[in-house]
Structure 1
Amino acid sequence: MSSIRDLTVWEPLLRVVRASNAERLAAPGGRLTGRISLGGWSVPVQRPRPVPGRAVQVEDMQDEFTAVERVQDALRADGANSVSFVVETAPDGRTLLHVVEPGPAVEPGLMSPFVGALLLVEGAVPEPWRRLPEEVPGAVSAPSADPALLERTLRERLPDAIGATEGEIAEAEARLGVTLPDELKALYRVTRARWEDWGGDYEAEERVSDAVGCELFSLDGLYVADARSRPCPWQFAADDAVVTAPDAAVQGLVGSPGWIVFGDNGGGDRLALDLTPGPGGHKGQVIVIDHERTIGAGLRADSLTDMVVNRPDGWHQRRDADNPPVVARVNIHYLDSVEAAARPELEVLGIGWRKGDPVSLAPVVGLPRLRTLTAVPGTLADPLEIAGLTGLEYLSLGPEDWRILLDAGAVPRSLSAAHIEVQGEQHPLPILDLADELLALWDRPLISRTVLEARLDTDR
């Protein structure tokens, strides 16, 4: 099977790209970029405008689909997940195709087809993903928790349901490595929620959902929502922080070994029993893990009995970690200076576009918890001040600031991940060179690049 480094794999896509961008590629220096993965693609191809009164059809874009599928087939053959590319017209008039394989030390670029976060330490995850729940002395079940009432109520609503045996419940506990709360056991004694028990009857499934108040997972589908169940790219995860207010019902964690997921609200948000509540919560409360957030959870009900019997409306999640002093943004919309952000609690500092001169980092040098710094290009008065931030695990800077640190031998060795912030349209190849320099400092796998001469002057 063809390799992703074979020109024949790319020829159909190159013809489609040329047809959409002939003028841009006509002169030396013209270039285009794109990315293709097994799950999607972003390629510089102009889509056809829909004919009035008619939606765009698959056949209208068939050439693009066929070309992309050929590249995806090569990815599968190579055991790879994604590839980026540059098509450029060299000074001597040749058309060159740069095939860029990011490798295991580079996350996919989210705002660029090339470089996301550089993974400098293998297996490292941001601090919030390492955080375990705090002990809450005296945490107890809510007064509303009543396994017997819960079981009676569900048997009245689901008289024909097939419940789990004690052996099946014990098997689930062994698989999960936790003892299931009495309320959850009571629920599954009434119905184990297996599709085969319903004989393909969707109405039977809906009756269970209506009775419980959510799309109930089968006993076999229970899982623990620890931090590993909620992956997030470093580029975003490093900006998160775990904050739990003194009166919070739910700890502001990414995940917990005490969050046992048992259902879905129908919109992709998971429902779980919380065995590690916050200071203001109850053991065994029902929480909602929002699929659109990467951290924290909201309170749904004080107990599973309360949710099923009383059917309380809605749920709410606090946003304690979005504001100072733990996370601070210095830009035209939030804080106006680094001095205003300099608090002992500060963990995440982001410096964006603002009025005035570039800023000094002197006010935050020596802060004990500062672990993430992101600064858009041109906002730092002296990038070498970063050397005083000895606890950084993630750093995002523009290419020029990284160049200063590299030339001075001042890249912080405390880093676990890094990011190159590219603003506007820049040639991607120097950015890849810069990324490789950073990866080499940690002896990490470099970005693989293959240069092929593409003959776009001949259709086949």
Structure 2
Amino acid sequence: MSPLHDFATWEPLLRLLRADKAEAFAAGGQVAGQISRHAWSVPLSRPVPQPGRAAQVEDMQAEFDAVRRVQGALEDLGVDGVSFTARVAPTGRAVLRLLGPSPAVEAAISGPHPESLILVEGALPEPWRRLPDPVPDAVPAPTADLALLERTLRERIPDAVGATEAEIAAAEARLGIALPDEIKVLYRVTRARWQDWDGDDDAAEREVMAVGCELFSLDDLYVADVRSRPSPWRFAAKEAVVTPHDAAVQGVVGSPGWIAFGDNGGGDRLAVDLTPGPRGHLGQIIILSHEENIGAALVADSLTDLVLHGPGRERRGRRRDEPSPVAWVHHRSLRSIEAAAHPGLEVLNIGVWDEEPFSLAPVTGLPRLRTLTAYPSTLADPLEIARLTGLEYLELPPEDWRVLLDAGAVPRSLLAARIEALGDRSPLPIVDLANEILALWDRPPITRIRLEGDLGPMA
């Protein structure tokens, strides 16, 4: 038996829960939580530190130790995470239900409810399937100057160790792409390996100042394509690729022509762009924000420009006058489905709304609508969803999913789906509902394992 399915693994956590939730358990209630290898969400009250004193690790040591026992079992089994529910009777008899995992369900971000259900194996959201448009007429910026770039770098970091032609060729072979000339010049001056500075922090800092970013070593260059920018379906399906006609950078998630070579010190990646937008230049320098799932911004017209003047203010193309492909309908945004509807609409999100529920008739037949999310009690007739024949992602509350399932009206065009379970609803019926949806595509269900044990009387 796996340690994950051994009651003893969970016993320390169950004891903490019993002490903390005694009233809820005495009334016959249950608690729920989720633990993954690197994070957890368990319903334990944490002590409030004394005024003027920050919380200390030892204040929560018992919780940390109990969770780490479970995390160790997850690692032994090679599982990313597991959700659970627990009940403890006044006698000390405990019932623990472990929920998951399933290869057809994305790892939970927080909370015990299932995340997005992957209905078609390997399916990606539409923006993650988009390649940049061809740019056969793109040319380097006038600021690109190989001789000036090399001379400036050698003056600023004269003791740097440069890469050999063989090392550059090896990097190109690893990446599967020819490096642009400015990047080759850069790495001929410095290959940016920490060991070359022999522990000299000042020399390393001079390199940062010389280039204008924290430079990756030649061995750490990577292609910033869609695989380098993963995102859960619940977020990715709500994005849309937009490249205005005057944009310097294409609004894609990633590109086989984005070669990441540095960091701004805050987690944002700098890349040379070989697939620029309509108003961009071949080899321009862009920045990919770690806080965004899609797109990039221009910071320099060329690597020479970056080295000479540093990263400029991030520049993005102006939005087109056309309506947005992503619409939000709720009290603080658009207030009707009619206002959101147009031929280019890809994503419709219906949020908090306490007036008359909406009909989906205004968006029926729209050619590009692929994502629909709806808050509880916002749809007048959930069965109207069946008329949206191009949906790839659907996010609904349990009650609306129940209507679709009972009517046999779940759209078969879906690639992924999610049940929006708000508040402290028990995950058990949500898991049952998720398994019904998964069964329609013959996908692996979320497992349910029941463990029982005796915690003994309260001390």
TMscore range, shorter length: over 0.9
| C-alpha distance in 2 between matches for 1:351 and 1:390 | 18
Relative to 1, partners in 2 of residues 1:52 and 1:93: Cα closer, same or farther, differing over 3 Å?
closer
Q: What does 1:38-437 align with in structure 2 at a 5 Å threshold?
A: 38-88=37-87, 95-110=94-109, 112-317=111-316, 320=319, 324-437=323-436
- Tell me how far 1:304 sits from its aligned partner: 0.4
What are the Cα deviations for residues 155-177 of structure 1, in whole angstroms up to 9, with x where unaligned?
Answer: 11111111111111111111111
Separation (CA, whole Å) in 2 of partners of 1:347 and 1:266: 35
User: 1:273-316: per-residue Cα shift (whole Å, max 9, x none)?
Assistant: 00000001101000000000000001010000011012253323
Partner of 1:22: 22
In structure 1, distance between residues paired with 2:355 and 2:71: 48
Q: Is the 8 A contact 2:244 2:318 kept in 1?
A: no
* Contact 1:15/1:459 (<8 A) preserved: no
Measure, in 2, the Cα distance between the counterparts of 1:92 and 1:436: 33
Structure 1 residue 94: Cα displacement: 5.2
Q: Which amino acid aligns with 1:225?
A: A
Gaps of 5+ in 1: none
Contact 2:93–2:455 (8 Å) recurs in 1: no
Give, in whole Å, the separation in 2 of the partners of 1:323 and 1:78: 51
Distance apart, 1:72 and its partner CA? 0.9
Q: What does residue 441 of structure 2 align with?
A: 442
Tell me: CA distance 1:113–1:305, structure 2 relative to 1, closer, same or farther (3 Å).
same
Distance between the aligned counterparts of 2:291 and 2:321, measured in 1?
15
Q: In structure 2, what is the Cα distance between the partners aligned to 1:19 and 1:89? A: 10
| Distance in structure 1 (CA, Å) of the matches to 2:40 and 2:346 | 35
Kept in 2: contact 1:18–1:456 (CA 8 A): no
Distance 1:205 1:9 in 2: 47
* Aligned AA (1:36): I
Structure 1 vs Structure 2 CA RMSD: 2.0
Greater mean alpha carbon deviation, residues 323-332 or residues 238-247: 323-332
Separation of aligned partners in 1, 2:365 and 2:292: 31
CA distance in 2 between partners of 1:422 and 1:111 (Å) = 12
Deviates more, 1:402-411 or 1:131-140: 131-140
2:5 partner SS: coil
Conserved in 1, the CA contact under 8 Å of 2:33 and 2:84? yes
Cα shift readout 1:141-161 (whole Å, capped 9, x = no counterpart): 100011111001101111111
Counterpart of 2:100, as a letter, is E
After alignment, is 437-446 or 322-331 more displaced? 322-331
Between the aligned partners of 1:150 and 1:333, the Cα distance in structure 2 is: 50
Q: Secondary structure at the match of 1:4?
A: helix
Deviation at 1:416, TM superposition (A): 0.6
Residue 8 (1) aligns with residue 17 (2): no
Q: Given the two structures, how large is their TM-score scaled by the length of structure 2?
A: 0.96
State the 1:78 CA deviation.
1.3
Q: Which runs of 5+ in 2 are unaligned?
A: none
Q: Size of the alignment, in residue pairs?
A: 459
State the one-letter code of the partner of 1:155: R
Deviations 1:166-212 (A, max 9, x none): 11111111111111111000111110111111112221111110000
Cα distance in 2 for residues equivalent to 1:246 and 1:110: 36
CA distance in 2, matches of 1:97, 1:137: 61
Distance 1:77 1:112, change over 3 A: same
Corresponding residue SS for 2:40: strand
User: Deviations for 1:232-289, whole angstroms, at most 9, x for unmatched residues?
Assistant: 0000000000000000000001000000000000000000000000001101000000
Secondary structure of 1:232's aligned partner: coil
Higher mean C-alpha displacement, 280-289 vs 112-121:
112-121
Summarize the Cα distance change of 1:272–1:347 in structure 2 as closer, same or farther, 3 Å threshold. Answer: same
Does the 8 A contact of 2:104 with 2:119 survive in 1? yes
> What do the CA deviations read for 1:387-437 (whole angstroms, capped 9, x no partner)?
111111000011111011101111011101000011233222111100000
* Greater mean deviation of Cα atoms: 101-110 or 155-164: 101-110
How far apart in 1 are the matches of 2:123 and 2:335?
A: 33
Q: Please say if residues 84 and 101 of structure 1, whose CA atoms lie closer than 8 Å, have aligned partners that are also in contact.
A: yes
Residue identity in the other structure for 1:315: E
| Native 8 Å contact 2:248 2:298 kept in 1 | yes
Cα contact 2:357–2:380 (8 A) shared by 1: yes
The 10-residue stretch of structure 1 (289-298 or 55-64) with the greater mean CA deviation from structure 2: 55-64
SS state at 1:339 partner:
helix
Contact 2:245–2:320 (CA<8 Å) still a contact in 1?
Answer: no
* Letter in structure 2 aligned against 1:310: H
Check the 8 A contact 2:32/2:83 in 1, yes or no. Answer: yes
Structure 1 Cα separation of the partners of residues 136 and 335 of structure 2: 40
1:15-37 deviation digits (Å, cap 9, x = unpaired):
01111111111112x11111111
- Taking the aligned partners of 1:408 and 1:39, their CA distance within structure 2 comes to 40
**After the TM superposition, which of the residue ranges 130-139 and 171-180 deviates more from structure 2?**
130-139
Contact (CA 8 Å) 1:249, 1:280: kept in 2 or not?
yes
Percentage identity across aligned positions?
65
Higher mean alpha-carbon deviation, 95-104 vs 283-292, is at 95-104
In structure 2, how many angstroms separate the alpha carbons of the residues matched to 1:311 and 1:427?
53
8 Å contact 1:348–1:371 — kept in the other structure?
Answer: yes
Does the CA-based 8 Å contact 2:344-2:368 persist in structure 1? Answer: yes
Once the two structures are TM-superposed, the CA of residue 100 in structure 1 deviates from its matched residue by: 1.3
Where does residue 31 of structure 1 map in the other structure? 30
**Deviation for aligned residue 1:56:** 2.6
Distance 1:17 1:182, change over 3 A: same
Which amino acid in structure 1 is aligned with residue 295 of structure 2?
Answer: G
Cα distance, 1:319 vs. partner? Answer: 8.0
